[in-house]
């Protein structure tokens, strides 16, 4: 035993409060400390570094440092004694650590060997594989290696343990270096395989995707980039490299034919017998293994039409059998079939009109109305058996006022009563009084004047006018108030629910609603949602009464649907039941590598099954191939967010980082020429949420590759024939026929294919919807009916906001999925893409493509009519050719705005427009016209009236602006009203 004491004469001076140790004794592997009132022990293992000896005026201090950052000092010792004691502690400490190192030698050498193997690994150093090594290295470093005194143990030992310490300190760098070394060596080792596995050598990007083998690997495979080749080669590589046996590989596809094609291709190319399966097939197998037999599949599971028809039948039966549900169903169709938005929900006329046009505001009686509140009134009248006319011509002739014929909103045919619905709300003024106000984009004074004029007309002609107001709906009493106002004049005769439902069926409104219910039901089941979940989310998203009305119907439909399964299962049950068996371990998976094709189409339920399979063993790898740019099956349950957050959903963990995964961008396309490939990329990336990918085109176009051809009403067939004739003429007589793919957003746009094939034998012509064209390609693609409207493109009836109740996230970008549908259409083409679009109602996509030079769209031969902003509502003024051959510019919002302008009288082609800084309207040909004092878009031209010639607005009778003729030169004498020009 060795001891160090405070010197008696110095201890009171050096340590007057007795805080330092009075004695230190070295006892084996411990240092015993004696203080004034207690004795402590320090293990040599706890020392952070060698003791320090400091000489002072009041003796020498010896300080011991522990790994907990504590310092223990003995003050007032003899200097020589302190130095001797310090040396003995250092020697004991070194002996102790060397002994500990010797004790851990085998463990250290094992870790060291694994760390050194990272320099040139024989297998891809995936996160799951290296994470346990990192854990062992850090534990050893913390308990031993970090405590070894470099001076004491010597440089050889320091150098020996350095790789482990470096790895513990910078694991990500060493793993990244190991990955780089492995990939380089593996690419070289398997070069011949990559050169010959397909008919053409694989690209560098394809080769990289095959040798990369992270916990989760996402291969971004753009259109025509050879994703099937990648999956084929990956499966063959895993087997041939001895990484996996065929039984350990699960090859998944979404469609049965795709799975069959993949199986055949893998075996044909590599000789490896691998059976690809669909998600439903593997799920069904899992159920069979666990339960001993497979439950019967519902008849409608494989037939979407049968599924929709079942929903329709359930709706009909509920109307007939359950009065409470029938009321909810009728209430839905009468008042909530469309989004209950009014002009008060919009800041501009253009936004309001665009929304209204996207809605099918068709009443139960069958006519289209102009606002949601009018729809409510009309349907209430119909439900209660009150016969009416919508917007009839007023029964009395109104004297010439410059206005159009007066068309009241409703006329009740039996009583002759008129109903006018006024879009006004009540607003309190500062003095406490109330005033009527209009929507933000409506001229309040003009609107109130119009209300007063209508009241005067009815008063003068002694016709009964019932008034309703927007503020009544805002206060929740629009329809109850209407009932009270009509009570003295009308006897209500409510129609039976089944009769109303028959009318709804006649209007074909049940079809779309059944599809919505079906989509909602599948998402509801696959996401394991509850009605309470949906109600909670509805409140969060502020979907209001419409969501409540929908859920009232859905709850009953879902309950009845589940009853009608009668022990059978649908595809949602199949996936979820298999996932449950896998999660609980009742099914034990043999799979260690899971390869998934078309990953962008994955749904929440499929993802759950995939995660369950991955979680069963630590070494399971997920290899997903897909293209988020081609995610177009949201209606079928696919959830693009699973791909966008791939690492978070399926990745591993390493060094405190979750979601570890690898992404490989194939980049290269073997299909489209540069103009098409780059334009499609630019188009889809307008949505910043899409994953950015680089594109290497298949070749370079020698002529304009994308053209937009505008089509007048009734010219569809003629224009298509012109395009096909041009393509046919370009095919050399001795060449094989060129392939032409006609694409439509909907099936109903398909032309007479038999006739076209007979007329153009040099062309191999086919038609498909864009959704069904995935995987197809052709020399030339012609996109039909790229028009605006409900069944246009982008479709305005695809995503009902209610689906957000059973979707994890709603895409914020407008027309996000429709934009991807357009990308799919564009990238079916090898050499040319021709888009046929209405000149009166072109698609917003077409307008974007034409206006932005980044797309490089070729102009249509001949003079093309320009687009202008509509000064009345902010929409587009589109050039149209009338039956008489004259050109007019009409607002795109024909039903609502009605702005119609003639072309310049001087040149007969262009549209005169306002010029900043002048009081005139000027045409590009140089002609000028006086501005209209009443409206934003019109100008004055000479007209004749009962009092002679005058200047009148070209928009008459929509605008009655006028001015006197100058006696000398015929110019307008009246100046335009200030502040009336567009800003």
Q: Which DSSP state fits 677?
A: H
- Structure tokens given for 931: 């501005």
Q: pLDDT digits over 193-215, tens only?
A: 999 998 889 999 999 999 999 99
Handedness of CA 83, 86, 92, 93 (dihedral sign): negative
Those residues whose C-beta lies under 8 Å from the C-beta of residue 201, and which sit 6 or more positions away, are: 194, 195
222 has binding-site annotation: yes
Angle at 288 between CA 282 and CA 291, to 5 degrees: 140
Half-sphere exposure of 254 (CA within 13 A, CB side): 18
Name the token pair of 386: 């009150």
Give kind and range of the element (H or E) at residue 357: helix 349-358
Do residues 249 and 238 lie in contact, with contact meaning Cβ atoms separated by under 8 Å? yes
Cβ-proximal residues to 489 (8 Å cutoff; 6+ apart), any chain: 412, 415, 417, 464, 466
DSSP string, 238-287: HHHTTS--GGGEEEEESSHHHHHHHHHHHHHHH-----EEEHHHHHHHHH
Paired tokens of 961? 């602006």
Query: Looking at residue 400, what is its pLDDT?
Result: 65
Residues of the chain with pLDDT under 70: 1, 9, 11-12, 14, 17, 69, 151-152, 400-404, 797-799, 808-810, 858-866, 916-917, 967-983
User: Cβ contacts of residue 58 below 8 Å, gap of 6+?
Assistant: 10, 13, 14, 75, 76
Beta bridge mates, 945 = 948
Q: Which two tokens stand for residue 194?
A: 């990559």
Is 226 annotated among the ligand-binding residues?
Answer: yes
Q: Where are the beta strands (DSSP E) in 57-136?
A: 59-66, 71-77
Residue 371's SS3 state is coil
- The beta strand positions in 113-247, using DSSP E, are 216-220
**Whole-prediction pTM:** 0.76
Partnered with residue 766 across adjacent β-strands are 741
Closest to 465 (Cα-Cα) out of 421, 401, 424: 421
293 CB-contact burial (10 Å; exposed 0-12 / middle 13-18 / buried 19+): exposed
Closest CA to 371 of 390, 389, 388: 390
Residue 244 CB partners (closer than 8 Å, separation 6+): 238, 592, 593
Here the tokens at position 250 are 């699960």
Write down the H helix ranges in 786-916: 816-826, 844-851
* Sign of the torsion formed by the C-alpha atoms of 469, 470, 475 and 480: positive
Reading the block at residue 624, the tokens are 């997903």
Strand partners, 942: 951
Q: How many CB atoms lie within 10 A of CB 945?
A: 9
What local confidence, expressed as pLDDT, does residue 581 receive? 97
Pairing relationship of beta strands 657-660 and 652-654 according to DSSP bridges: antiparallel
- 510 in Cβ contact with 504 (< 8 Å): yes
Helices 323-335 & 544-565 angle (0-180, nearest 10): 130
* CA dist 78 → 24, 59, 75, 124 (Å): 13, 6, 9, 61
Label each residue of 558-569 as H, E or C: HHHHHHHHCCCE
Q: How many residues are listed for the chain in this entry?
A: 983
| Helix, strand or coil, per DSSP, at residue 55 | strand
From the list 506, 515, 466, 504, the residue with the least C-alpha distance to 486 is 466
Give the C-alpha separation, 802 to 516, whole Å.
9
- Our separate counts of H helices and E strands in the chain read 32, 36
Q: Report in angstroms the alpha-carbon separations of 789 from 338, 339, 351, 656, 754.
A: 15, 16, 14, 51, 28
Residue 227 annotated as lining a ligand binding site: yes
Q: Residues 870, 877: contact at Cβ < 8 Å?
A: yes
**Distance in angstroms (rounded) separating the CA atoms of residues 695 and 718:** 36
SS3 511: helix
For 572, phi and psi rounded to 5 degrees? Answer: -65, -45
Going by the DSSP 8-state scheme, the letter that residue 574 receives in this structure is H
Backbone angles phi, psi at 864, to 5 degrees: -105, 135
Q: Is 221 marked as a binding-site residue? A: yes
Strand-pair category, 23-27 with 30-34: antiparallel
Asked if residues 890 and 868 have their Cβ atoms less than 8 Å apart, the reply is: no
- Pairing label, strands 738-744, 763-769: parallel
224 is in an annotated binding site: yes
Which two structure tokens, joined as six digits, stand for 486?
A: 């009509």
Tokens 């100046």 belong to 975
Backbone angles phi, psi at 198, to 5 degrees: -115, 175
**Cα angle: 122, vertex 126, 130; to 5 degrees:** 90
Establish whether 223 is an annotated binding residue.
yes
C-alpha to C-alpha distance for 669 and 225, rounded to whole angstroms: 4
Pairing of strands 465-469, 39-43: unpaired
Pairing of strands 920-922, 928-930: antiparallel
Establish whether 882 is an annotated binding residue. Answer: no
Q: What is the pLDDT of residue 917?
A: 62
What pLDDT sits at residue 972?
40
In DSSP terms, which residues pair with 941 in a beta bridge?
952
Burial class (CB in 10 A: 0-12, 13-18, 19+), 58: middle
CA 273, 279, 280, 283 dihedral sign is: positive
Set out the domains of the chain in order of their start, with CATH numbers: 2-101 (2.30.29.30), 104-179 (no CATH), 190-295+571-665 (3.40.50.300), 304-324+508-565 (no CATH), 343-502 (no CATH), 694-864 (3.40.50.300), 868-963 (no CATH)
498 membership: H or E segment, kind and range: helix 497-506
Q: So what's the pLDDT on residue 970?
A: 46
């Amino acid at each position: 035993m060795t001891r160090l004491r405070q010197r008696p004469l110095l201890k009171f001076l050096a340590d007057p409060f007795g805080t330092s140790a009075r004695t230190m004794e070295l006892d084996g592997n411990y240092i015993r400390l004696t203080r004034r009132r207690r004795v402590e022990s320090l293990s040599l293992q706890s020392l952070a570094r060698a003791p320090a000896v400091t000489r002072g005026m009041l003796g020498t201090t010896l300080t011991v440092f522990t790994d907990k950052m504590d310092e223990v000092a003995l003050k007032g010792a003899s200097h020589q004694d302190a130095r001797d004691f310090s040396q003995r502690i250092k020697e004991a400490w070194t002996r102790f650590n060397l002994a500990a190192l010797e004790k851990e030698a085998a463990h250290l050498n094992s870790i060291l060997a694994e760390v050194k193997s990272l320099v040139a690994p024989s297998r891809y150093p995936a996160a799951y594989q290296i994470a346990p090594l990192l854990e062992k290295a850090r534990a050893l470093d913390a308990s031993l290696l970090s405590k070894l005194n470099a001076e004491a143990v010597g440089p050889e030992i320091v150098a020996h343990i350095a790789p482990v310490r470096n790895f513990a300190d910078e694991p990500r760098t060493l793993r990244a270096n190991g990955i780089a070394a492995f990939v380089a060596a593996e690419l070289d080792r398997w070069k011949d395989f990559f050169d010959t596995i397909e008919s053409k050598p694989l690209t560098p990007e394809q080769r990289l995707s095959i040798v990369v083998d992270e916990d989760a690997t996402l291969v971004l495979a753009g259109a025509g980039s050879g994703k099937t080749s990648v999956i084929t080669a990956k499966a063959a590589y895993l087997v041939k490299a001895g990484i996996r046996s065929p039984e350990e590989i699960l090859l998944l596809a979404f469609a049965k034919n795709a799975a069959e094609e993949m199986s055949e291709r893998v075996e044909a190319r590599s000789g490896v017998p691998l059976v690809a399966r669909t998600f439903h097939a593997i799920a069904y197998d899992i159920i069979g293994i666990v339960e001993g037999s497979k439950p019967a599949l519902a008849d409608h599971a494989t037939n979407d039409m049968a599924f929709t028809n079942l929903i329709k039948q359930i709706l009909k039966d509920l109307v007939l059998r359950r009065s409470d549900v029938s009321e909810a169903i009728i209430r839905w169709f009468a008042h909530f079939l469309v989004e209950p938005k009014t002009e008060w929900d919009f800041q501009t006329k253009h936004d309001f009109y665009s929304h209204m046009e996207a809605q099918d505001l068709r009443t139960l009686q069958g006519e289209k109305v102009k606002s949601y509140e009018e729809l409510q009134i009309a349907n209430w009248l119909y439900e209660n058996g009150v016969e009416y006319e919508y917007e009839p011509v007023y029964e009395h002739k109104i004297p010439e006022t410059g206005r159009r014929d007066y068309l009241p909103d409703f006329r009740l045919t039996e009583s002759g009563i008129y109903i006018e619905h006024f879009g006004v709300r009540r607003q309190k003024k500062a003095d406490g009084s109330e005033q009527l106000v209009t929507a933000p984009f409506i001229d309040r004074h003009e609107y109130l004047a119009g209300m007063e004029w209508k009241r005067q007309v009815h008063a003068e002609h002694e016709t009964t006018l019932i008034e309703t107001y927007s503020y009544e709906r805002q206060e929740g009493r629009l329809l109850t108030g209407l009932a009270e106002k009509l009570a003295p004049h009308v006897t209500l005769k409510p129609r039976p629910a089944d009769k109303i439902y028959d009318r709804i069926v006649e209007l074909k409104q049940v079809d779309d609603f059944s599809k919505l219910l079906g989509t909602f039901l599948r998402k509801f089941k696959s996401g394991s949602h509850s009605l309470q979940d949906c109600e909670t989310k509805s409140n969060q998203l502020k979907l209001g009464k419409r969501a409540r009305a929908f859920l009232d119907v859905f709850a009953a439909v879902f309950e009845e649907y589940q009853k009608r399964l009668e022990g059978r299962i649908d595809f949602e049950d199949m996936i979820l039941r298999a996932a449950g068996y896998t999660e609980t371990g009742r099914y034990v998976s043999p799979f260690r590598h899971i390869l998934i094709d078309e990953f962008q189409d994955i749904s929440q339920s499929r993802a759950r099954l995939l995660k369950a399979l991955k979680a069963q063993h630590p070494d399971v790898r997920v290899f997903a191939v897909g293209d988020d740019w081609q995610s177009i099956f949201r209606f079928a349950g696919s959830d693009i967010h699973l791909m966008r957050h791939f690492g978070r959903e399926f990745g591993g963990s390493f060094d405190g980082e979750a979601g570890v995964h690898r992404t490989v961008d194939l980049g290269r396309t073997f299909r489209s020429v540069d103009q098409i490939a780059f334009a499609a990329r630019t188009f889809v990336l307008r949505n910043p949420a899409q994953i950015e990918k680089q594109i290497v085109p298949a070749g370079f176009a020698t002529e304009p590759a994308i053209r937009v051809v505008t089509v007048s009403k009734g010219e569809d067939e003629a224009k298509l024939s012109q395009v096909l004739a041009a393509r046919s003429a370009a095919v050399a007589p001795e060449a094989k026929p060129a392939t032409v793919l006609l694409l439509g957003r909907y099936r109903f746009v398909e032309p007479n294919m038999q006739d076209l094939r007979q007329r153009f034998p040099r062309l191999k012509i086919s038609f498909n919807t864009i959704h069904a064209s995935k995987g197809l390609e052709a020399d030339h693609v012609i996109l039909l009916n790229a028009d605006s409207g409900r069944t246009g493109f982008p479709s305005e009836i695809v995503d009902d906001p209610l689906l957000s109740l059973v979707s994890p996230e709603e895409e914020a970008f407008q027309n996000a999925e429709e934009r991807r549908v357009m990308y799919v259409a564009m990238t079916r083409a090898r050499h040319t893409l021709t888009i046929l679009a209405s000149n009166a109602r072109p698609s917003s996509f077409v307008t974007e493509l034409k206006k932005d030079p980044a797309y490089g769209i070729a102009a249509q031969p001949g003079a093309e009519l320009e687009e202008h902003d509509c000064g009345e509502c902010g929409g587009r003024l589109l050039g149209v050719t009338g039956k008489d051959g004259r050109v007019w510019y009409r607002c795109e919002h024909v039903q609502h705005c009605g702005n119609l302008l003639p072309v310049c009288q001087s040149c007969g082609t262009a549209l005169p427009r306002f010029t900043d800084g002048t009081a005139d309207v000027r045409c590009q040909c140089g002609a000028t016209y006086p501005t209209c004092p009443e409206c934003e878009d019109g100008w004055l031209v000479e007209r004749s009236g009962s009092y002679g010639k005058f200047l009148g607005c070209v928009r008459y009778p929509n605008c009655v602006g006028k001015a006197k003729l100058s006696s000398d030169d015929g110019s307008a004498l009246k100046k335009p009203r200030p502040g009336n020009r567009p800003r």
